[in-house]
Every structure is written in structure tokens, then in C-alpha cells.
Structure 1
Amino acid sequence: MTVDMVVLGLGYVGLPLAREAVLAGLTVRGFDPNSAVVDGLNSGRSHVDDLSDDDVAEIVAAGFSSTADIESLRGARSAVICVPTPLSSSGGPDLSAVLAATRSVAAILEPGMLVVLESTTYPGTTEGPVREELERTGLVAGQDFHLAFSPERIDPGNAQFGMKNTPKVVGGLDSASTDRAAELYSRFVDTVVKAKGTREAETAKLLENTYRHVNIALVNEMAKFCHELGIDLWDVIDLAKTKPFGFQAFYPGPGVGGHCIPIDPNYLSHRVKEELGYPFRFVELAQEVNLAMPSYVAQRAQDLLNDAQLAINGASVLILGVTYKPNIADQRESPAIPLASSLARKGARVQFHDPYVETWRTADEDLPRVEELDTALAAADLVILVQSHRDYDVDALAGASRIFLDTRGVTSTGSSAHRL
């Protein structure tokens, strides 16, 4: 049987990609070095928020299978790399997972094969380190095999836009590679957009997330001085967004989280500094502002306790919602983590509640999860809404709390909550 596509990395990006391709009739195999992930998927169990066990069982029944044995995937027509690209300890890009996956592809690389990188990275990765690893086989990119980059655009928890109806950007090492990648994705994605090349496709992804990063930093900075000036920023944003052109609403919060915004813009900043020798000042300033928000929320919490003649040292603080987005279990880079650590350093006794999270660890310790929310609300000196899950009736939660700090601006204006 000819395998149309091998997906390397079966997480939040790779698994939805594999599922959409299988549903479109492609023969797809998954590769992941984690045998527990492979065994779970082959048994019909999902480990990502956007896909249920039934979703995985459906594609397994349609012929999808996963393996940790790359040699068993020889003869595949294409390989798509969907692995994490975190930051290194020095703040630069960590390509270790990308290069490991590339070496796996190199082990089964054959003439005529298409290789696509989807992992977010700095401009030049595809035609640089990835190409170099693949060409160690003796095969030449653009001559013996096709090579392209297509940025992932997965938005966990988004019920409106998924893999199929989100336009797919593809940029190849040459026009033949672009065409081959476009042909592959066109089989299961509604709209495919061709880029000039791999660097343009890589940079497009970074621009998308840098745009959000910078604009979120703008409103986070405004949240601080609007509070000092007695201005309701949430009302300001509602007013501004009535303009039908030239404005897009962004909202303040306790910080930024997830797999994109806290990380991706730094890839672009790092590349600019490395290649050109000067800083990407917008990104660096946005990072400074957004990273400071958890500490700012902790200071607001301390101020509210002081107003109630309570010390934060020894106070009981309950955090509601510890994921980085509402209505999912994903905790990657959640601002709740540095917020809890900052509160603890001030002496607060921190507990949490989240309908999607059973156990939660900050940088320093495991925090206790409250089971009886009503009891915990009444007992806490201060409650902080960090993530507004649909399960929460926020006005009722605010009404049941002694002091309620709403970092998402979702409580009604007549409630007893203090908004960021």
C-alpha cells in the first residue's frame, strides 16, 4: 500500500493534520518517538483537546496508524514535520526536535519524495539546517526531492476555524516544490496560498503572531495607566471597536500564553539580531510588557487586600482557570504559573480551581486544587479570575467572593468585581 503522507509529531498540530487528511481519503501514517503516544493513538485514545477519543477511533478505523519505527515508513510519498520549537535556555531558537525529526525523514528519504516543515521557526531554517540534514543522504533538494515550508495555523479550542477551512500557506525551495506541496494540501484544505519561497512562508507565520504580541502588549500597557487614571479600558475598547475600519480589538489580560505568542516573535527577533546585528525593538518591548503582567496582577491583588486591611502575607488566594486559553486543558506558557509564583513569594497561600485541570504545578511546587468551589470562594480572602471558562458564571462567582479580581473583563459592570 502506498502511503500518501507521514506526519512526524502527533500533538496539537500533527494529529489534526493527520485526521483531516485521512477523512479526505489519503493514506496517512503517524510517527512519534514516544511509544506511549503511539500506543494510545493506535488504541483510539486522544491526548489533545481538539480531538476526542471518538475522533481518533474514527481515523484508526479508516486505516490510520502510528509507529515509533521510522524504517517501517519507507516508500511514503511525503513527510510533514510537526514538532515543537521551544526557546533555548539562552532565549534563542531550540531546533533540537526539528533536527531530530529531519534525521528521521532522512532515514527514509527517496527520490521524488516531498518533505514539508510545519514547525514555527526562524526564516532560513528550511533551506538551511533542514536542507543540510536531508542532503547528507546524497540526495539534492530541488533536484532529487521536493522541500517546502507550510506554517501551522492551529488554534486550540476554536470551533469556527480548523484545519480544513483555514487557508494554508505553502512556500517551496523552488517552484516545483511549491506546486507539489500545494497539490498535497489541496486534497484536504479548502484554500491553499502559494508563497514566493520558504523564507516568506516562515516569516508570514512570525508576522501573524508578532502582530498579536505587540497589540496585546499595547493594551496591557494601557491597562496599567487607565487604572491609575480611573478610566475603564474595557469600555474604551468597546467604544473604539464600533469604528468599522482601521481598528481591531485586542484585550488586556494577566499575560500571554500558549505555544505561539510568548515564543514565536522571539525567533524573528533572534534572527534579526543574529544576521543584522541590531534589535527588533517592537518585539523586545512587547515581550518586556507582557512578561511583566503576572507581577502586575500580583501587585493589584496586594493592593486590593491592603484596601480591605488585610496583608497578602498569609492571605488565602484562589486562582480560577489556569490554562492559557478558555475551555481547553492546555497549560503551555500559561501566565497563571508566574502569577501563582509571584503571589507565593509575597506570602500568599495559593489554591486553584479549573474544570479542565486536575493537577497543577507552578515553577516551584504542586498547588492544591479546591473541590468544593462554593466553600472555597467563601473562605478565600481574594479570588482572581485568570481564565474565563464557559463553565464559570463569573458574576455569580464574584458575588460569592469577598474580593474578586477579574483579569479578563468578563464580569458585568454592575458586579462587585474589580477589573484589571
Structure 2
Amino acid sequence: MKEASARTACLDGLLSKLADRSAVIGIVGLGYVGQPLMLRYSEIGYRVLGFDVNRARVDELNAGISSIEHIDNARIATARKGGFEATADFSRIAEADGIMLCVPTPLNRYREPDLSFVVNTCEQIAPFLREGQVVALESTTYPGTTREEVVPRLEQHGLRVGETIFAVYSPEREDPANAEFTTNTIPKVVGGHSDACLKAGLALYEKAIERLVPVSSTETAELTKLLENIHRAVNIGLVNEMKIVADRMGIDIFEVIDAAATKPFGFTPYYPGPGLGGHCIPIDPFYLTWKAREYKVNTRFIELAGEINTSMPTYVFGKLTTALNERHKSVRGSRIMILGIAYKKNVDDMRESPAVALMELVRDNGGVIGYADPHVPVFPEMREHHFDLSATDLTPEVLAAQDAVILATNHDAFDYAMIRDHAKLIIDTRGVYRASADHIIRA
């Protein structure tokens, strides 16, 4: 009876603090997911403590500076005035009542899940956890991660998940620079390790998010996130394959998609490009294919889409090679400029950008590579890629000096008329130029 009473008191105390906003919110990982969450909780009156192993990022945020382009410094400064503090001292995790883990879940060199960031974070915070906290994993991962990897680490110093501490999985759904959907307006899926955990998770998010979607387990929430992004990956793979077929037939795939999109039911338009980018869509399908093998299931449809999408930079490079050959040039020694190296338009996010694969193909085949991107002034440090390059300002003279330009990311800031008028050869991977011209090649 005493144990049941203690469990109830532990949960009730947490729920009360979250409800009256006296709870401290701890966010681990202050990147593209963590910073918007921090801002949202700060703006609605919670004190937020942010954790990051990157000390330079910690110092920037404490100085009121964001390294993410679409997040204004003024919002960071306002959060600081409201009590937000960033730290690299993980012992302070004990100060937080609600803890959100927003750390990377990349693939390793064998395209298998790399949970080292999740595991290391849990190991790092475990000694400082206490009764009456709720821990939410937001990182995209395979079904079973919360139960198999997170929960045991939360319990290793005597706490009991569902009784004295609570665990949930609630996948992030951030879309950087999307003005239509923001952190608070995007519905949030929440799955708990137990019924008590789900109550704690819903209380953690209910003040900050307009609509919560509770599900029956952490595994359901984990698979929900994968399905969302696999849906996009498979459909983009389909339209990329259709692009190749249409090109061989001399048909404009973008005209086809626009026409098909007029059907008011049963069709959703997806558009081809130079490959997949971002922190989710190129990676998430492989998390499920890896986990499915444990159950002796082959995810052939998903893997085929992955093969098509990862082959797109090579397809674009082939179009470049052919176009240069027709002009009695080779890639070797040619000046090639990539237009847009972020993974999508109007952001500075470089994660998994297919433009980087294109840059490497040009460099490795002897081309003289350069890039223009108003959102990425200097090529950033990346785990697996390196270019000692800065962005070039586009002018008629710069364009005329290139043997070819590859339009990889269609930022609104580009002057497409100037590019069309002064570039000798344009490899258009985004369907920007609908009118045909001898020096514009669809890819």
C-alpha cells in the first residue's frame, strides 16, 4: 500500500508542476529540433535548461545567438531573459522535471542504425536522474528503442520506470523554415512505456502543443514516425523513377505531375530531384529495414525506393557528363558550379544533402568545383564530407565563366532569369525552367 501511495504521489507531483508551469524543462540537444522546443516552452512561461555537448553552441545561445538561420537571435535573447540557460554540465539534469532527448540518430557506414548518441546521452544523464521526472525520446528510431535501450538505462541507478520515473517516445515533426506549420501547431504523437508514463508524457506536452495524439505504446509511436517518412521516401522514389522514364520518352515529368495533381481525389503530388536530403527521409527507411530483419521480414518495396533515391546524384552527374561531351568537353578540368547545397529550398540545413554527393562526384572526376548558396556562406564541418569552400556570389561574369551549373536546390533568392541568360549550360534538377532551351538540360 505504501509503495502504491508513493507511486501515485510521484506522478501526481510531476503532473501538478507541469500543469502550473513551475516545472523545469530540460532539452538535450540544441539543434534544429531542440531549439524550437526550447523557444516554445520558454515563450509559454516554463524555465528551460538546455544541454549540449557542443560548447561553442552553448556559449552562442547563452550570448543570445542562434546558429540556425531561420531562428532569429531576438527570440533567443528573449528566451534568455525569460530564464533559459544552456549548459554542457549534464549533472544539472537533476534540476529538470521534464526531459526531452533531441539527439541525432544517423546511419553508420554500413547503412545500419547508429544509436550511439541516444545510448551515450542516456548513460550521461542516468547518474543524475531522480524521482518525479519524465524523459521523452524525440529522435527518430526503430520500434523497440525506448523499451530496449532507453528504459534499462533510466533504471540502472535504482529508479523504476512507470513508478518513480516516467518514459515516453514522442517523435519530432519539425520542418525547418516552414511558416505554415510551427512547433505548437503540428500535432504530436505520444506513446508511453506504461499508462502512468503516458499520463506524464501528455502532461509534458499539453501546454505547448495544440493537439496531442496518444497511442498505445512507445513502439506504436516509433513506427508512426517511420511510416510518415517512409511514405514520402517511397513516393519520391516512384516519381524519380518516373522522371527517368519520362525523360527517355521526351515527356516533361513536371508537366505530367502538375496535370495529375488537378485530380481532386486519390493523388498527392510529389516532385523529383537530385536525391533525398534532410535528417529523416534518407535515413528512416533503413531503420525499419534493419529492424524488420529481426522478424525475418524483407522490406523489398522500401529498399527499392532507397536504391532509386540514392542513385539520383549519379543520374544527375551522368546528364552533366553527356551534356559536356556534346559540347566537346569532359568533366575533368571543367568549371562546375553547384547552385544550392542545402537539402531543401530556403534553409541552411545541410544534413544528408544530395548536393554534397554531386560535389564529390564532380571533384572525384577532376572537375573544378564551386558553389553558390545564399543560406550557406561557408561549407560546414560534416562528419563524412569536407570541402574547403565558401559560397560564390552569383553575377553574370561568374556564371559566364562556368562550363556548367547544376541547379541542385531551388532557393527563392536565386535570380533564375540571370542564371538562364548568362550560364553556358544548366543542369536543372528541380524543374525550375519549364521552357525548353538548348543550354538547359532536365535532370
TMscore range, shorter length:
over 0.9
Q: 2:374 aligned to 355, 378, 401, which one? A: 355
Paired with 1:311 and 1:80, the residues of 2 have a C-alpha distance of 51
Q: 1:382 aligned to 401, 404, 422, which one? A: 404
Distance 1:175 1:364, change over 3 A: closer
Q: 1:322 aligned to 341, 345, 350, which one? A: 341
Which residue does the alignment assign to 1:118? 138
Which residue does the alignment assign to 1:228? 248
CA offset at residue 365 of structure 1?
A: 4.0
8 A Cα contact 1:12 1:48, kept in partner: yes
Paired with 1:373 and 1:26, the residues of 2 have a C-alpha distance of 48
Paired with 1:122 and 1:73, the residues of 2 have a C-alpha distance of 26
Which residue does the alignment assign to 1:54? 74
Distance 1:369 1:183, change over 3 A: closer
- 1:419 aligned partner, one-letter code: R
Quick check: 1:39 aligned with 2:59? yes
Q: Deviations over 1:365-398 (max 9, x none)?
A: 4346433532121111211111111111223311
- Runs of 4 or more, structure 1, over 4 Å off, are none
Paired with 2:442 and 2:151, the residues of 1 have a C-alpha distance of 50
Which residue does the alignment assign to 1:410? 432
Q: Which moved more, 1:65-74 or 1:10-19?
A: 65-74
Which residue does the alignment assign to 2:418? 396
Q: Secondary structure of the equivalent of 1:319?
A: strand
Paired with 1:149 and 1:36, the residues of 2 have a C-alpha distance of 29
Q: Which moved more, 1:243-252 or 1:33-42?
A: 33-42
Q: Secondary structure of the equivalent of 2:157?
A: coil
8 A Cα contact 2:69 2:375, kept in partner: no
Paired with 1:262 and 1:307, the residues of 2 have a C-alpha distance of 33
Paired with 2:252 and 2:237, the residues of 1 have a C-alpha distance of 17
Task: With the length of structure 1 as denominator, give the TM-score of the two structures.
Answer: 0.96
State the identity %. 41
Paired with 2:271 and 2:30, the residues of 1 have a C-alpha distance of 32
Counting only pairs closer than 5 Å after superposition, residues 146-165 of structure 1 correspond to structure 2 as 146-165=166-185
Quote the RMSD (CA, aligned, Å).
1.7
Q: Secondary structure of the equivalent of 1:384?
A: strand
Counting only pairs closer than 5 Å after superposition, residues 125-140 of structure 1 correspond to structure 2 as 125-140=145-160
Which residue does the alignment assign to 2:258? 238
Counting only pairs closer than 5 Å after superposition, residues 328-347 of structure 1 correspond to structure 2 as 328-347=347-366
Paired with 2:117 and 2:366, the residues of 1 have a C-alpha distance of 39
Q: Secondary structure of the equivalent of 2:77?
A: helix
Q: Secondary structure of the equivalent of 1:74?
A: helix
Which residue does the alignment assign to 2:221? 201
Task: With the length of structure 2 as denominator, give the TM-score of the two structures.
Answer: 0.91
Which residue does the alignment assign to 1:259? 279
8 A Cα contact 2:372 2:394, kept in partner: no
Paired with 2:387 and 2:124, the residues of 1 have a C-alpha distance of 36
Paired with 2:333 and 2:238, the residues of 1 have a C-alpha distance of 34
Which residue does the alignment assign to 1:144? 164
Q: Which moved more, 1:59-68 or 1:395-404?
A: 395-404
- 1:360 aligned partner, one-letter code: F
Paired with 1:256 and 1:47, the residues of 2 have a C-alpha distance of 24
8 A Cα contact 2:91 2:125, kept in partner: no
Which residue does the alignment assign to 2:312? 293
Quick check: 1:186 aligned with 2:186? no
CA offset at residue 265 of structure 1?
A: 1.1
Q: Secondary structure of the equivalent of 2:311?
A: helix
Distance 1:222 1:141, change over 3 A: same
Q: 1:279 aligned to 271, 276, 298, which one? A: 298
Distance 1:364 1:140, change over 3 A: closer
